[in-house]
Structure 1
Amino acid sequence: MTNQKENYFEDELENNASIIKPNEGEKLELNTISITFKVTSEMSNDQLGVYEIFLPPMAIGAKLHYHRFMDETFIVDEGVLTMQVGDKEFPAEPGTVAYVPKFTPHGFKNDTNEPVKLTLIFNPSQKREGFFKGLHETLSEVPIDPEKYLKLYNKYDSFPVDTSNMIPIRD
């Protein structure tokens, strides 16, 4: 029996990088909104989720909500995104980075007649892909079941500030 000594002084290098090109990644269509998974929970051991979001004119991404366990970062790539943080709204032009730590109420939408493309980052990701897939199912139902929507939200660390105004549709 060989007694192999553990090496405490040298790193063991690995080649686990993922390169995701512009039109690559699993794409979900939620009515007129699309979400493309770029870096998934599985790839990052649940540490990071990176998603490309496309919002057509006048689309709502999410109404005011917060997360208990994850931070969210928005990077606006194209168009003007309306960000809501607390009770204030502001326009976020291309190049804007909005970092939203846990317990910070926030929402986002496209209030313009032009499409918006953004990169959304969750840290940790907490299997966020399941949330987006559940959203696809829930928002495809007519009528949308608020109880099912809330159950999905809560399972994936999302908590609406106002449960009577949480479904991402315009009144």
Structure 2
Amino acid sequence: MTTASRPAAIRRPEDSEILGTPGASSVRLLIDSNETGGSVSTVEVTLGVGADGATPHYHTLSDELFFVADGELQVMAGDEIVTVGAGGALVVPKFMPHAFGAAPGSPARLLIALMPGVERHGYFRFLEQLGQGKATPADIEAAQADYDNYFIDAPQWWAERNANRA
């Protein structure tokens, strides 16, 4: 039998940091890449009915796995906009533009994993600071490179999201 090169990364629910509003839209920070030797970064995202999640963006270092635990998730993956229900999953390869939000009329709870991992928990803390006015939109450009999260314009995504709100 061989010995693992690092210990198992374990995060108990009571030890998880939660950003946002639990029960509405929130992010539970699970296990980040510094705890996995860079193999994976994970978060759990909870979105209220029809709530927006991530705006259109892409990553240059990691593929991104989405597993829908509850509800329905609307996702832009490249040129496609699809809805994935509870128990479904998709993987968006690096460089593919993508965005997500709870499907119209539905909440969503999902696990997101970036593989290989990048330090992601700092990015979600940055977004919370931005929402609280403790960071400025000018800080976004630097944060893109720091967290491998590059925003893009995707009019088809916003047209779809806005059409469902009308």
**Range into which the TM-score falls when normalised by the shorter chain:** 0.7 to 0.9
Question: Equivalent residue for 1:156?
Answer: 147
Q: Are 1:55 and 2:71 counterparts?
A: no
The answer as to whether partners of 1:30 and 1:140 remain within 8 angstroms in 2 is no
Q: Are 1:76 and 2:68 counterparts?
A: yes
**Corresponding residue to 2:29 among 32, 37, 49:** 37
Post-superposition offset of 1:42: 2.4
- Residue range with higher mean Cα deviation, 133-142 or 52-61: 133-142
The answer as to whether partners of 2:83 and 2:103 remain within 8 angstroms in 1 is no
User: Whole-Å Cα distance in 1 between the matches of residues 119 and 48 of structure 2?
Assistant: 25
| SS of residue paired to 1:155 | helix
User: Whole-Å Cα distance in 2 between the matches of residues 127 and 149 of structure 1?
Assistant: 16
- Residue range with higher mean Cα deviation, 109-118 or 75-84: 109-118
Listed as ranges, the matches of 1:1-171 within 5 Å are 11-13=2-4, 16-22=7-13, 24-29=15-20, 32-141=24-133, 145-162=136-153
Change (3 A) 1:124 1:15: closer
Q: Which structure 1 segments of 5+ residues have no match? A: 1-9, 165-169
Letter in 2 for 1:65: H
When you count helix as a share of all residues, which structure comes out higher? 2
Q: Which structure 2 segments of 5+ residues have no match? A: 156-160
User: Whole-Å Cα distance in 1 between the matches of residues 32 and 39 of structure 2?
Assistant: 9
The answer as to whether partners of 1:41 and 1:129 remain within 8 angstroms in 2 is no
Question: Equivalent residue for 1:6?
Answer: none
Offset from partner CA, 1:41-92 (integer Å, 9 cap, x none): 2211222111111011122111111101111100000001000112321111
Change (3 A) 1:161 1:76: same
Structure 1-normalised TM-score? 0.78
Offset from partner CA, 1:20-51 (integer Å, 9 cap, x none): 34555221116952111222222112221111
Change (3 A) 1:13 1:154: closer
Question: Equivalent residue for 2:158?
Answer: none
Seq. identity, %: 28
Q: For the pair shown, which has the larger CA radius of gyration, 1 or 2?
A: 1
Q: Which runs of 4+ in 1 moved over 6 A?
A: none
Post-superposition offset of 1:124: 2.0
Structure 2-normalised TM-score? 0.80
* Root-mean-square deviation (Å): 3.0
